[in-house]
Structure 1
């Protein structure tokens, strides 16, 4: 058994060239989690046919992965503080590789779902401490640049994923779609073993009850909302929501007296962190309201083909790839809240432009409006992340990173549920979803600009 790595005292970032190797390891690890979370979408029809299951059941291959991520991020970030961030990061990638082998050899839906849950757990292990490792790798004056590069990697992997999945399906069986991120895991493991920092660990007993309550809270609330939004089982959805609220109340009461709570109430009590975290939740909620509903609008009202819809939607991540690193560098020099407020103002304009989209619209026109949304979102994300990670105490960097990732996924789940509900009501393929997203974005922008005023903490 390998000895436990010795903790390092990291004053202000890693020295060069070790920093660059660590950045490569973190970028590859981020790419694997993003690709694995989205690449399966392309293969769902093929999986349904191959395993002889309904499309609704095959969709669990994607939703289960996302659900495990939401349930596990905060408990694993707390575990990383105790066993070491580098150790957890690389252990998560090893679990991911083992789970991928299980996906490749799966011959039934239950086997595949078990393997996907394990993949989600491995990805959560890496993502839960990635922001803390980024903060340790970069000097404080360049933290925004580091987070901007990370956002660019997320956008690039998200844009690459559908095309990569399609190519693999064209030349290989569907099982190999799940193996696509493995090279990223192997590269990250090799580079990380050389360069990733090992910050000091915390010698405290792990809160198993808090971890269980946290997982139960997010699982019950998200599953309940999805049941109600899609009209699958209303009584069951209500029961899950009630149980989720009860679990949340118990969790908050149990965590309120902890010095280092798994649910980071100590961070959320600070307005300088609570406001950007709330903004992040609402931003991703607005994003998913638009992205889930817009394909139906473009198909039903504008007659776009699937290829045209995909090309239009791709302008959002493609714009993020360019904007995110630039916004990160700007956030190291000017007010993060002011920059985020400007970003949300542009996003509001983009959402409003899409709400006003005429039925007879060209793909170029629709794509330009999506690019405006991506421009504003990119200007918001990196400064927002810098505010959250930079304001948290260094000893709570993993908790802040886990909170950010959990907030993003929760916002996406809420937004998808709202969009699904609007579609079920017959109003989801019109201007209403984009108008609702614009209203949410405008509130975030006003809050950011209000917080940026002198004297506002």
Structure 2
């Protein structure tokens, strides 16, 4: 454990910036119609505003986690914060869709530099028996930020204009920089040999897979240009990633991805579970937003406020759930969290009818907030609890990368599912979700279409129900956490440094 007298102020400083980058993952979706109109562009170009951020965020995460190990998490975090804040200014002043897309990609790269460092610092400044409480705060920030994004976006777009969803990052970024500079300790670095071939293979493979999944619907899952097809890109990306794994196994140099991390069952299962969380949470807001705004005629701010009970309850309960994860086996906390979320979403899906009272829909939404509190903290603490100190950055990079890949899969899957259910329930109406516009976008959906439209949204929400239900089954296989001592003690010998577990109480 790093000898810092004030780990909690350091954590608060880090999560300020972490909150900002997660809000930006969801805040843009509600501003897309305003951007479309103001920049006089088309829907495909507007979708790239989100796609560029997602791609630039997801692809470098494995690399940026290792950069924190090599050069220090504080330094890499501050660099990423500067990049993100300056890119936000450029986004706000963008006068064309091309400049906005480029600035969003730069934002995503800044976010990729920052994200792994938050978990790495938690892992290194908190002892294992206190890490659940720290992850509780981290989980509260992650959960609330993803819910606050649409609410804040609706208020800013309605009141000041879409540019302010980016300008609002500037004062937050300045405060976060000063706080991190003063409160986050400088942690020891590790003289890793940098695996450049691993960097190229992982980056190229990730880009091809993410691009193929994200843009598959744009090209109707067919030809992109000449002999290049969507499935060809995805398959090539998978082959390159398989080559990356083989290289990590065979390379005699220090690997970019220490495969020994996956010998810990909880680390491996936490990555599976957080992928399902990323998929399900990304898929959840779109059918809800369409239902509230198009089927029920609410404006963006009113629709976003329907998520308020979930955000408030999640933010209030997460620190307490984090402490609970330190006292009991986090497997059971996670199982209850996943199960409650699945039940709440199923309840919501069954009640998405054209005449359901709005106040009644707040009830499953509040239950959803209770469940979300039991997801992030136990997963984060289970993933990092047994990680060797020198691999904290690499491990957190993998964990955040899998969450982001889950988000990409969720985005692609919910788009395809929405289109399929709209085509089935409303044959001949528009062109799926992408064909909605004009009167529909303004809440003027013709009465004869309302019932079928609401049914399609209800059916699409079951993707998230299934994702959380499968996650509940996955966490049941977690092993009981090992009892560990502070990292300052001796490490067991006879294994490579990358693969050594923390010292157990019995070994000490």
Shorter chain as denominator, the TM-score bin is: 0.7 to 0.9
* Structure 1 residues 269-280: aligned runs within 5 Å: 269-280=263-274
Matches within 5 A, 1:45-194: 45-169=33-157, 172=160, 174-194=162-182
User: Counterpart of 2:500?
Assistant: none
- Candidates 462, 474, 487, aligned match of 1:447: 474
Question: Is 1:315–2:309 an aligned residue pair?
Answer: yes
Q: Which protein is bigger by CA-based radius of gyration?
A: 2
Out of 392-401 and 223-232, give the one that drifted further.
Answer: 223-232
Look up the match of 2:4.
Answer: 14
From 415, 440, 447, the equivalent of 1:420 is 415
1:350 pairs with one of 344, 353, 361? 344
Change (3 A) 1:128 1:447: closer
Report if aligned partners of 2:289, 2:303 keep a CA contact under 8 Å in 1: yes
2:398 alignment counterpart: 403
Q: Paired residue for 1:243, among 221, 229, 236?
A: 236
User: Does the 8 Å CA contact 2:13/2:179 hold for their aligned counterparts?
Assistant: yes
Q: Secondary structure at the match of 1:356?
A: helix
Q: Match for residue 465 of structure 2? A: 438
Q: Distance in 2 between matches of 1:453 and 1:74?
A: 27
Match of 2:357 in 1: 362
Match of 1:209 in 2: 197
> Contact 2:80/2:112 (CA < 8 Å) preserved in 1?
yes
The CA deviation at 1:203 is 1.4
* 3-state DSSP of counterpart to 2:375: helix
Q: Quote the Cα distance in structure 1 between the aligned partners of 2:158 and 2:205.
A: 40
Asked if the contact 1:280/1:408 (under 8 Å) is kept, the reply is: yes
Does the Cα contact within 8 Å between 1:14 and 1:136 map onto a contact in 2?
A: no
Report if aligned partners of 2:25, 2:149 keep a CA contact under 8 Å in 1.
no
Q: SS where residue 261 of structure 1 aligns?
A: coil
8 Å contact kept, 2:209–2:234: yes
Aligned pairs, how many?
A: 443
Aligned equivalents of 1:239 and 1:331: distance in 2? Answer: 44
Structure 2 Cα separation of the partners of residues 162 and 297 of structure 1: 15
Unaligned runs of 5+ in 2: 224-228, 423-454, 483-508
Q: Contact conserved, 1:24 with 1:188, CA < 8 A, in 2? A: no
Quick check: 2:194–2:256 contact (8 Å CA) kept in 1? no
Distance 2:481 2:301 in 1: 48
**CA deviation profile, 1:141-173 (whole Å, cap 9, x unmatched):** 221111111222233333443444445445656
Structure 2 CA distance for partners of 1:102 and 1:151, relative to 1, 3 Å: same
Residue aligning to 2:283: 289
Distance 1:283 1:163 in 2: 21
TM-score (norm 1): 0.88
Task: Supply the distance in 2 between the matched residues of 1:306 and 1:101 (Cα, whole angstroms).
Answer: 24
Structural RMSD (CA): 2.7
- Displacement, 1:338? 1.5
